[in-house]
Amino acid sequence: MSTPSLLILAGDGIGPEVMAEVTKIIGWYGDKRDMPFDISEDLVGGCAYDKHGTPLHDDTMAKAQEVDAVLLGAVGGPKYDDLDFSVKPERGLLRLRKEMDLFANLRPAQCFDALADFSSLKRDIVAGLDIMIVRELTSGIYFGEPRGIFTEGNERVGINTQRYTESEIDRVARAAFELARRRGNKVCSMEKANVMESGILWREVVTKVHAESYPDVQLSHMYADAGAMQLCRNPKQFDVIVTDNLFGDLLSDAAAMLTGSLGMLPSASLGAPMANGRPKALYEPVHGSAPDIAGQGKANPIACILSFAMALRYSFDQGAEADRLERAVEKVLADGARTPDLMGPEGGTPLTTAQMGDAIIEAL
Amino acid sequence: MSTPSLLILAGDGIGPEVMAEVTKIIGWYGDKRDMPFDISEDLVGGCAYDKHGTPLHDDTMAKAQEVDAVLLGAVGGPKYDDLDFSVKPERGLLRLRKEMDLFANLRPAQCFDALADFSSLKRDIVAGLDIMIVRELTSGIYFGEPRGIFTEGNERVGINTQRYTESEIDRVARAAFELARRRGNKVCSMEKANVMESGILWREVVTKVHAESYPDVQLSHMYADAGAMQLCRNPKQFDVIVTDNLFGDLLSDAAAMLTGSLGMLPSASLGAPMANGRPKALYEPVHGSAPDIAGQGKANPIACILSFAMALRYSFDQGAEADRLERAVEKVLADGARTPDLMGPEGGTPLTTAQMGDAIIEAL
Ligand SMILES: CC(C)[C@H](C(=O)O)[C@@H](O)C(=O)O
Ligand SMILES: CC(C)[C@H](C(=O)O)[C@@H](O)C(=O)O
Which atom of ligand 1 lies at the shortest distance from residue A286's CA? Answer: 12
Q: Which residues of chain A have pLDDT under 50?
A: none
Q: How confident is the model at residue B364 (pLDDT cuts 50, 70, 90)?
A: very high
Among A348-357, B140-149, B204-213, B257-266, name the one with the lowest average pLDDT.
Answer: B257-266
CB-based burial label for A275 (10 Å; 0-12, 13-18, 19+) = exposed
Q: B138 and B178: one domain?
A: yes
The answer to whether position A352 is within a domain reads: yes
Q: B275 and B361: one domain?
A: yes
Distance CA B254, CA B267 (A): 15
Average pLDDT of chain B, as a whole number: 96
Q: A146 and A254: one domain?
A: yes
Alpha helices (H) along chain B: 15-32, 46-52, 58-66, 89-99, 123-126, 166-181, 197-213, 224-233, 245-258, 302-314, 319-334, 353-363
Pocket lining: A62 vs ligand 2, CB cutoff 6 Å: no
Q: What is the per-residue pLDDT for A1?
A: 61
Asked if A197's CB is within 8 angstroms of B148's CB, the reply is yes
Test mutation, B81, B161, B243, B259, chain A, max A CBs within 10 A: B161
Residue ID of nearest Cα to ligand 1 atom 11: A249
Q: A253 and A267: one domain?
A: no
Q: How confident is the model at residue B118 (pLDDT cuts 50, 70, 90)?
A: confident
Residue B48 confidence (pLDDT) above 90: yes
pLDDT in tens, B162-186: 999 999 999 999 999 999 999 999 9
Question: What interhelical angle do A353-363 and A15-32 show, nearest 10?
Answer: 20
Specify the DSSP element, H or E, that contains A16: helix A15-32
Q: Which residue in A has a C-alpha nearest to residue B83's C-alpha?
A: A194
- Final residue of a structural domain among A233, A258, A283: A258
DSSP state of A182: T
CB atoms inside a 10 Å sphere around CB B206: 26
The answer to whether position A61 is within a domain reads: yes
Average pLDDT of chain A, as a whole number: 95
Q: What is the per-residue pLDDT for B108?
A: 96
Q: Provide the residue type at B56 as one letter.
A: L
Q: A301 and A363: one domain?
A: yes
Residue B17's DSSP bridge partners are none
CATH number for the domain including B169?
3.40.718.10
Q: A16 and A98: one domain?
A: yes
- pTM of the predicted structure, to 2 decimals: 0.96
Q: Cβ contacts (< 8 Å) between A142 and chain B: which residues?
A: 195-196
Closest CA to A172 of A242, A274, A100: A242
Closest CA to A13 of A62, A75, A58, A96: A75
Rg (CA), chain B: 20
The answer to whether position A115 is within a domain reads: no
The answer to whether position B116 is within a domain reads: no
Asked if B167's CB is within 8 angstroms of A155's CB, the reply is yes
Q: A204 and A182: one domain?
A: yes
Q: B65 and B178: one domain?
A: no
The answer to whether position B158 is within a domain reads: yes
Q: B134 and B194: one domain?
A: yes
- Whether B280 sits among the annotated catalytic residues: the reply is no
- Final residue of a structural domain among A211, A231, A258: A258
| B81 annotated binding-site participant | yes
Q: B279 and B236: one domain?
A: no
pLDDT in tens, B242-256: 999 999 999 999 999
Q: B249 CA to middle of ligand 2, Å? A: 7
Q: A158 and A190: one domain?
A: yes
Closest CA to B107 of B248, B271, B305: B248
The answer to whether position A120 is within a domain reads: no
Phi, psi at A134, each rounded to 5°: -105, 110
Pocket lining: A21 vs ligand 1, CB cutoff 6 Å: no
* Mean pLDDT, rounded, for B118-129: 92
Asked if A194's CB is within 8 angstroms of B88's CB, the reply is yes
Q: Which residue in A has a C-alpha nearest to residue B249's C-alpha?
A: A225
pLDDT in tens, B207-224: 999 999 999 999 999 999
Q: What is the per-residue pLDDT for B1?
A: 61
Give residue B324's domain range. Answer: 1-111+262-364
- Final residue of a structural domain among A258, A292, A312: A258
Please report the DSSP string for B260-325 in residue order: T-GGG-EEEEEEEE-TTSPEEEEEEESS---GGGTTTT----HHHHHHHHHHHHHTS--HHHHHHH
Total domains in chain B come to 2
Give me the residue from B152, B160, B224 closest to A162, CB to CB: B160
First-to-last alpha carbon distance for chain B, in angstroms, is 25
Annotated binding site of A for substrate: 97, 107, 135, 225
Distance CA A50, CA A63 (A): 20
Q: What is the per-residue pLDDT for A116?
A: 86
The answer to whether position B168 is within a domain reads: yes
Report whether B55 contacts B75 (CB < 8 A). yes
Catalytic residue set of A: 142, 192, 225, 249, 253
Q: A84 and A10: one domain?
A: yes
The answer to whether position A283 is within a domain reads: yes
pLDDT in tens, B280-322: 999 999 999 999 999 999 999 999 999 999 999 999 999 999 9
* Mean pLDDT, rounded, for B226-242: 96
